[in-house]
């Protein structure tokens, strides 16, 4: 939230702010009239040294003695003691508990003088005056009782309490402005909350309205998708798998005449699950019998090698540089028809590499015989994904239902449109259980989908078993061996190095 956002909110919701300010002022005025006034009266006592006392006496014109000054400081706590309050209550015949009276008394020593200032609050001016004078008289008795007649000093009231004319609490000159300020702040908070809520994307229809295209699938909040190195298989994960199958099917029919062959999977910001969606979309396509190449095009924070537990040393960057042949860099995935091209060494200028003619040619080459899924960085953090969408057949925007907001989606779509890319659709992820069931129920009622929440897994859910590598190796041989205008292979690796690139990966347990 910036100052510009706050100022825009004030201009948009000024009527609301004025209303809350008036309400705050009215509430403060009501509090001021409802609360009983409190009056404060102050009496002053003087510590008088007796003639011939230890520490030196004083004449009527002489300066105060050191003993009197010390006693004045030490007797200040007497004013607020319960014993003094008890004596005051008894002397004045008050219907008041001593501790209650003691809480209403305050006292202080007047600097450089042997005087004690005693202030007492009351509900009326007369009560405050009587209590202040009574406390001073009670202090005198308490001092004599504690120190005895031989102390050489005594307490004398030198200024009786005046009758107060104005209450000390509440202060209307403070209460009304404070009430207005609190009302204004509360109104500003409400306005900011309304503005924030107005920009929040609540459901699938909101997403489609803001991005201008369809939501191809809705993925529930699932542990199957939280762990990047897990495959959504087995009983209990059929909802997630069916949602991924729906994504694969809908992606096929986005453009019937020109079905996309190269798809960039991206998100507006990091943490929305684009890498997980890309990996599982590739797996789902491979399970359906399609030839699939998953490319880690996130050359800043690559994740595909970790997801599939593959060798991350060689990948896309070496292929684009011409130092490694594509057939040597591609590794086997955890499905029969799935091949994975990891990111490789991270370059200093990923955007330039991904927008190069070599990258465009690579996508065209792979797209002839296989579905190509590219995992890419967030759109609003780097230009890489937008540039890739211009070279590919389109982009798939992954949107987290937990934090999707209208301005973020608009900027993400604008980033793709700015470079001439095509947004194929969106995937709504991290959808809560209730919201997911509501969406599925709506699809089922209108005949647009399957009730994913009730369907039980069966034997048909098992992925087809093909001879690993037999189909894809044929497609790989059709890729030109980087010569001339094609992706040139500049430096061939040694035999030991080449065998490492073609190493069979560790398979993730299903």
**pLDDT per residue as tens digits for the range 397-433:** 999 887 777 788 889 999 999 999 999 999 988 876 6
Identify which of 175, 129, 166 has the alpha carbon closest to the alpha carbon of residue 34: 175
Average pLDDT of span 11-37: 85
Q: How many CB atoms lie within 10 A of CB 403?
A: 14
**Residue 502: predicted pLDDT:** 38
**Alpha-carbon span 457 to 50, nearest angstrom:** 104
Does residue 20 belong to any structural domain of this protein? no
Same domain for 336 and 243?
yes
- What would the 3-class secondary structure string for 413-468 be? HHHHHHCCCCEEEEEEEEECHHHHHHHHHHHHHCCCCCCCCCCCCCHHHCCCCCCC
The pLDDT value recorded for residue 467 is 36
Q: Categorize the per-residue pLDDT at 34 as very low, low, confident or very high, splitting at 50, 70 and 90.
A: confident
Residues 220 and 151 in one domain: no
Share of the chain above pLDDT 70, in %: 75
- In this structure, the answer to whether residues 223 and 123 fall within a common structural domain is no
- Write the pLDDT tens digit of every residue in 71-120: 888 888 988 999 999 999 999 988 889 999 999 999 999 888 889 999 99
Q: Which residues constitute the domain of residue 465?
A: 205-501
Is residue 245, in this structure, part of any structural domain at all?
A: yes
The token pair at 306 is: 């970790």
Contact predicate 46/115, CB 8 Å: yes
CA distance 45 to 60: 16
**218 and 136 housed in the same domain:** no
Question: In this structure, are 111 and 218 located in the same domain?
Answer: no
Q: Are residues 296 and 424 in the same domain?
A: yes
Question: Among 189-198, 308-317, 473-482, whose mean pLDDT is lowest?
Answer: 473-482
Return the axis-axis angle of helices 3-12 and 172-198, rounded to nearest 10°.
100
- How far is 431 from 434, CA to CA, in rounded Å? 8
Angle between helix axes 406-418 and 204-211 (nearest 10 degrees) is: 40
Q: How many other C-beta atoms lie within 10 A of the C-beta of residue 294?
A: 31
Residue 279: the pLDDT is 94
User: Looking at the structure, do residues 154 and 269 belong to the same domain, yes or no?
Assistant: no
Asked, for residue 185, whether it belongs to a domain, the answer is: no
Examine residue 168 and state whether it is found in any structural domain, yes or no: no
Confidence at residue 28, expressed as pLDDT on a 0 to 100 scale:
84
Domain count, the chain: 2
* Whether 215 and 142 share a structural domain: no
Distance CA 257, CA 279 (A): 26
Return the SS3 of 50: coil
In this structure, the answer to whether residues 266 and 129 fall within a common structural domain is no
Residue 306 lies in a domain: yes
Report yes or no on 9 lying in a domain.
no
Distance CA 377, CA 374 (A): 10
CB 25 within 8 A of CB 183: yes
Residue 5 maps to a domain? no
Give the pLDDT mean for 56-74.
65
Q: Is 128 in the same domain as 250?
A: no
Q: Tell me, yes or no, whether 25 lies in a domain.
A: no
Q: Are residues 226 and 113 in the same domain?
A: no
Give the CATH number, domain containing residue 419.
3.40.50.300
Contact 262, 305 (CB under 8 A): no
Give the angle 115-121-122 at the CA atoms, nearest 5°. 135
Q: Which residue has the tokens 């001593």?
A: 98
- Closest C-alpha among 342, 208, 325 to residue 282: 342
Whichever domain contains 102, its CATH number is 3.30.70.1130
Same domain assignment for residues 490 and 384: yes
pLDDT for the residue numbered 415: 93
Can you tell me the mean pLDDT for 315-324?
94
Q: In whole numbers, what is the pLDDT of the chain averaged over residues?
A: 78
In terms of average pLDDT, the best of 390-394, 444-448, 474-478, 501-505 is 390-394
């Amino acid at each position: 939230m910036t100052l510009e956002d706050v100022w825009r909110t004030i201009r948009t919701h000024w009527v609301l702010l004025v209303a809350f300010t008036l309400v705050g002022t009215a509430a403060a005025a009501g509090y001021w009239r409802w609360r009983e006034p409190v009056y404060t009266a102050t009496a002053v006592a003087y510590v008088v040294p007796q003639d011939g006392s230890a520490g030196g006496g004083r004449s009527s014109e002489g300066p105060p003695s050191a003993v009197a000054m010390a006693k004045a400081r030490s007797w200040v706590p007497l004013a607020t003691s319960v014993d003094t309050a008890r004596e005051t209550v008894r002397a004045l015949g008050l219907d008041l508990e001593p501790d209650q009276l003691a809480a209403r008394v305050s006292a202080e020593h007047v600097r450089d003088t042997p005087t004690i200032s005693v202030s007492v609050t009351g509900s009326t001016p007369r009560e405050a005056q009587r209590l202040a004078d009574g406390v001073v008289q009670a202090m005198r008795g308490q001092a004599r009782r504690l120190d005895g007649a031989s102390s050489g000093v005594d307490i004398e009231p030198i200024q009786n309490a005046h009758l107060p004319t104005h209450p000390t609490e509440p202060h209307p000159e403070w209460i009304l402005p404070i009430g207005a300020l609190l009302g204004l702040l509360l109104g500003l908070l409400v306005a900011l909350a309304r503005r924030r809520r107005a920009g929040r994307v609540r459901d699938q229809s909101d997403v489609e309205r803001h991005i201008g295209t369809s939501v191809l699938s809705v993925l529930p909040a699932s542990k199957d998708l939280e762990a990047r190195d897990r495959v959504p298989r087995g009983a209990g994960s059929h909802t997630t798998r069916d949602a991924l199958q729906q994504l694969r099917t809908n992606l096929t029919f986005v453009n019937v005449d020109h079905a996309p062959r190269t798809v960039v999977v991206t998100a507006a910001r990091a943490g929305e699950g684009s890498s997980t969606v890309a990996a599982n979309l590739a797996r789902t396509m491979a399970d359906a019998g399609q030839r699939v190449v998953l490319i880690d095009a996130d050359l800043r924070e690559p994740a595909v090698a970790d997801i599939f537990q593959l060798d991350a040393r060689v990948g896309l960057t070496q292929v684009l540089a011409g130092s490694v042949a594509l057939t040597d860099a591609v590794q086997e995935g955890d499905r029969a028809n799935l091949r994975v091209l990891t990111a490789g060494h991270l370059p200093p200028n990923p955007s330039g590499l991904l927008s190069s003619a070599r990258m465009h040619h690579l996508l065209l080459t792979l797209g002839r015989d296989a579905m190509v899924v590219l995992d890419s960085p967030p759109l609003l953090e780097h230009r890489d994904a937008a540039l890739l969408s211009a070279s590919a057949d389109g982009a798939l925007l992954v949107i987290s239902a937990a934090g999707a907001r209208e301005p973020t989606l608009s900027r993400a779509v604008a980033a793709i449109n700015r470079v001439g890319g095509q947004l194929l659709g969106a995937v709504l992820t991290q959808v809560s259980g209730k919201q997911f069931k509501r969406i599925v129920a709506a699809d089922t009622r209108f005949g647009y989908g399957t009730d994913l929440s009730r369907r039980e897994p069966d034997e048909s859910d098992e992925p087809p078993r093909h001879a690993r590598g037999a189909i894809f190796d044929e497609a790989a041989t059709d890729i030109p061996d980087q010569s001339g205008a094609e992706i040139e292979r500049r430096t061939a690796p040694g035999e030991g190095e080449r065998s490492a690139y073609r190493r069979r990966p560790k398979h993730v347990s299903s």
